[in-house]
A and B are shown apart, each in its own frame.
Chain A
């Protein structure tokens, strides 16, 4: 008996998000940070990802408290980078998910060869976790 499972990834680990941002070459800063938006607009957040002239704010959601969401002046980022907000969020979420999967698997004794991770044209990835039993 097998069951297909879908996990709707939620940002709960700033450590994993920092690793994901680093893999994408984006500086990550954690703490009470000042986030840059269009035309000098500013906001405060628990962390931020530097996207160039503007930032993606990582904001703790009120409920549940351990979950974070990405907030930004997406129009300004889109103008500068030529990408829509959903593309940027998806890319960050994919890399975050990869970090969480690897971390979770390794904690349970599984091994994932990062060199063997297949990356498809649509951005999706496939990996195999193995364990010596």
Chain B
């Protein structure tokens, strides 16, 4: 779990129930991505709500067809978290 403390002291991170965020301050939550099953390619894909999909090498690609279909949902979720946490 990666946590960024911003210059003004606020926190930015991916949402988690693992620690009591509300005890630290006022929480704002915004959806960042969706993990969906692609029936045509028999794999899980990561759609980024800022635009695009997760592709090879965990880079953003514009075209859904160029996105990486992950064999397991767990692998897609792990890649999604790595990508988003690198861009907090």
Contact = CB atoms under 8 A, between A and B. Distances in A.
Interface of A: 1-10, 12, 89-90, 92-94, 96-98, 100-101, 104-105, 107-108, 110, 122-130
Interface of B: 1-16, 18-21, 23-35, 80-81, 84, 88
B33 A9 contact: no
Nearest to B47: A1
Contacts of A93: 8-9
B7 to A, nearest CB: 5
Contacts of A122: 7
Contact of A110 (B1, B13, B31, B80): B1
Contact of B14 (A2, A8, A123): A2
Where chain A touches its partner, the secondary structure class is mixed
Contact of B28 (A5, A97, A107, A130): A5
28 contacts: A1-B31, A1-B33, A1-B34, A2-B32, A5-B13, A5-B27, A5-B28, A6-B10, A7-B11, A7-B25, A7-B26, A8-B28, A89-B9, A93-B9, A96-B9, A98-B5, A100-B24, A101-B5, A101-B24, A104-B19, A105-B19, A107-B19, A108-B18, A124-B4, A127-B3, A127-B5, A128-B3, A129-B2
